[in-house]
Amino acid sequence: MASVSEMYDVTWEEMRDKLRKWREDNHRNSEQIVDVGEELINEHASKLGDDIWIIYEQVMIAALDCSRDDLAWTCLQELKRQFPGSQRVKRLAGMRLEALEKYEDASKQYDSILQDDPTNTAARKRKISILKAQGKSAEAIRELNEYLEQFVGDQEAWHELSELYINEHDYGKAAFCLEELMMTNPHNHLYCEQYAEVKYTQGGLENLELSRKYFAQALKLNNRNMRALFGLYMSASHIAASPKVNATVKKSNVKYAAWATNQINRAYQLAGRGTKENKCSVKAVEEMLESMQITMS
């Protein structure tokens, strides 16, 4: 089997830099990390110097994702040898137990970390993920709420909580979590769009208006967010089709929907540029939009 460096013709420095980039961007491309990282560890361990420890950690987590227990075990052993008694390494040991589905042992491991250091957020979050893995979503939600009462600033946790609430169809609370995220990251168009989708799902005239506004905001932040564009179209047309609105509101919403339609058409034209498959998609989109118009007016 060809090694990564042979296949792509890269040096070990480039591989190391790629791993660092993935680490900083928090990518979860575990298979690639395992491929690149394993080769780095096996062939070039001496050249890496002190970088090797963080690469061990990165590769270990990726190996757990890919069910490569052997690789995970080696990485863990090396880390245990170098950093005995470290809480970060204990957490990794707990994660390995989780991967082997030994949830009781993993839970005990995290409890011992928390005894030493009650402010350790990583251990708490792992305990919550154990609950999630076991399918106990109600308990997971409760624990996560308690966690967030202590650590209000943890954005990862807010996002996780919003996802759990969406799974439970509790859209009001999910919207609350997403509001927290929108406040702390006002320029992130994805949070705006997700919030708008939750509001749209909740339904009701007020929520539809809010969702239309937030779809527009997401588009303003990122002109290329197609999902927000479609969302804008759908929320505007829904409001216009609703019997409870007065004439001016209906007119402005029809205007919004028409604008959105134009933009969608433009996008599909740009994507198409004459290739055969895209001609069919362009036609399909046009038909879809026309049918929506008909049901509306």
Partner 1 sequence: MDEPELLLDSNIRLWVVLPIVFITFLVGVIRHYVSILLQSDKKLTLEQVSDSQVLIRSRILRENGKYIPKQSFLMRKFYFNNQEDGFFKKTKRKVVPPSPMTDPSMLTDMMKGNVTNVLPMILIGGWINWTFSGFVTTKVPFPLTLRFKPMLQQGIELLSLDASWVSSASWYFLNVFGLRSMYSLILGQDNGADQSRIMQEQMSGAAMAMPADTNKAFKAEWEALELTDHQWALEGVEEELMSRELDLDGMFSKELPTGIF
Minimum CB distance to partner 1 smaller for 35 or for 98: 35
Q: What's the closest the beta carbon of residue 23 comes to partner 1, in angstroms?
A: 14
Structural contact between residues 156 and 181, judged by C-beta atoms closer than 8 angstroms: no
CB atoms within 10 A of CB 236: 27
20: tokens are 């660092």
Radius of gyration of the chain (CA): 25
| 294 makes contact with partner 1 (CB under 8 A) | no
CA angle 178, 182, 183 (to 5 degrees): 120
At closest approach, how far in Å is the CB of 109 from partner 1?
20
Residue 210, interface with partner 1 (CB under 8 A)? yes
Q: Count of CB atoms within 10 A of residue 72's CB?
A: 24
CA dist 283 and 265 (Å) reads 10
| 131 to 150: interface string for partner 1, x by CB under 8 A | -------------------x
Question: Are 240 and 248 in contact, with CB atoms under 8 Å apart?
Answer: no
The distance between the two most distant Cα atoms of the chain, rounded to a whole number of Å, is 74
Q: Judged by CB under 8 A, which of 160, 256, 261, 285 binds partner 1?
A: 256
Among 45, 100, 138, 152, binds partner 1 (CB under 8 A): 152
Rounded CA-CA distance 60/152 in Å is: 29
115 binds partner 1 (CB under 8 A): no
Considering only residues 14, 69, 139, 146, which one is a binding residue for partner 1 as defined by CB under 8 A?
14
Single out the segment in contact with partner 1 by CB under 8 A; choices: 44-52, 59-67, 83-91, 266-274.
266-274
The pair of three-digit structure tokens given for residue 169, joined into one six-digit string = 């169809």
Subset of 36-75 contacting partner 1 (CB under 8 A): 36
Binding region for partner 1 (CB under 8 A): 4, 7-8, 10, 14, 18, 32, 35-36, 118-119, 150-154, 176, 179-180, 182-184, 186, 210, 212-214, 216-217, 219-220, 223-224, 229, 256, 259, 263, 266-267, 270-271
